Structure 1
Amino acid sequence: MILRRALPARAKQPERRTMQKLDRQSQTPMYKQLADLLRGRIEEGALGYGNRITPENALVEEYGVSRVTVRKAIDLLVEENYLFRKQGKGTFVSLRNASSNRALEQGFTAESFRDGAIPTTQVLAKTILPAEECPAEGRANFPGAELLMVVCVRCLNGVPVIYEQDYFPMRFAELLDIRMDNRSVFSLLSDRFGVCVTGYSYMFAVAEATGEHARALNVPAGRPLLRVCQTVRGGSDQFVFFNTQMVRTDVYKYRTSMNLEP
């Protein structure tokens, strides 16, 4: 018997974290202590690539320190390449050691930031399905009985632009219990599973928006959308995951490139 497990869409809840206090008796400067706390949250994965950190005024209130202390802590993490600032938009977790995983620089999150936009992702559902329910274009990648499907909507500056269905082999079943909202998939796979994406292939077509796509993307049913099928691979050409994307090309321009150098 094949079991199906689903996590229904639910209202977002504020991230819960244990309040960590600064040691006012320590000889370590307060700004360095605060930087250590924020750095620790990034390294443990509580703040993923592209996540916006708590605003400065909220950090001042939360830790009972001056704005100068907060800014010095953030300046230190920017200098160490843990954070980066976008004028008028806030401070965000940066991509560290990018040279070891170049694919992280090419995903939706990284490209959106380079274009000056703020990307967000809302996970609508996570479901274990029979492998034969994978779209035909990716079905050959799933010789096992089951797969994990993650459905999400990707937005730019709050506008929904991509309805995405990701299909993972069951070796990534742990994703069922991991919060994926506002997380780069490539970054999550790298941080949590040690997967280094080395390449991907695409298929492109035009398809009409169904009722499901229309509701998620806020477009009329029947509107033409760009349908993208993406197969992602890692080291030794190992299959990582497959996805389909329904893209609003009126507000998002899909970009890909090819390097023909030997």
Structure 2
Amino acid sequence: MNFNDWHGFRYCNTPAFRIEGTRMNAVNCGGPLIRSLFVAGLIATAPMASAAEVLVSQPFKNGGPSYLSDLGGAVNADSFNLSGSANVSAIAWWGTHVDDQQLGGFSVRLAETLDALLDNSSALGGSVSRGDDAVGEDDEPSPDGPRKLHRFQLDLTAPLGSLGGNYYLAIGNETVEWFWATGTEGDLKSFYLDTGNPNLPAAWAEDDTTDMSFEVIGERQTVPEPGILALLGLAGIGGLLARRRRR
């Protein structure tokens, strides 16, 4: 997260004056009152992070389709919007089973445009885990029956700070054939690209009937209401007066 540097204020040729008996001039321009109010202002206007929560949720559709996604020839993506500002700490999704040694083959990519998802620099770093038990199945009509679906989660090495707005997400496994489960509760819009199949478009195509399954997990950032700033300012004044009484 980027923070603006706070710079001190320079007061030059300031006439002497008094506030509740506190003398302030060019030499003593940072008296206890101003310092108290300044600190209160910093506290009140600094973004505050809430507890970790699911910021965006598109749960898997049990019994629904799942699509091959390897980020090489077959690429599936979805979009989402983060209102306000948030620190994202994890991405979760649902898909077909992979063994423990193949978890490292997952690539989770996040970008502001679809084309940027094709660049390896959009891949997020972190550790991928898989739920031990299947949570559902897809609609694959194979002789062996539908494929079992598991929940996966990427815990980021470092949270992505101050995210807000529209983003695109692509997930695939580059080491094993893996199918990403479709989801629910989205905007019924996802995207796909298959560069290895001449029967499919060589450019991004939009599917306006399907969501992909995923969750975005993190902490929302909030700025206190103006009333809180006023209360903190009063607290600063009260602290100063209490300090003066103790002298």
Structure 1 length as normaliser, TM-score? 0.22
Higher helix share: 1
Larger radius of gyration: 2
Structure 2 length as normaliser, TM-score? 0.23
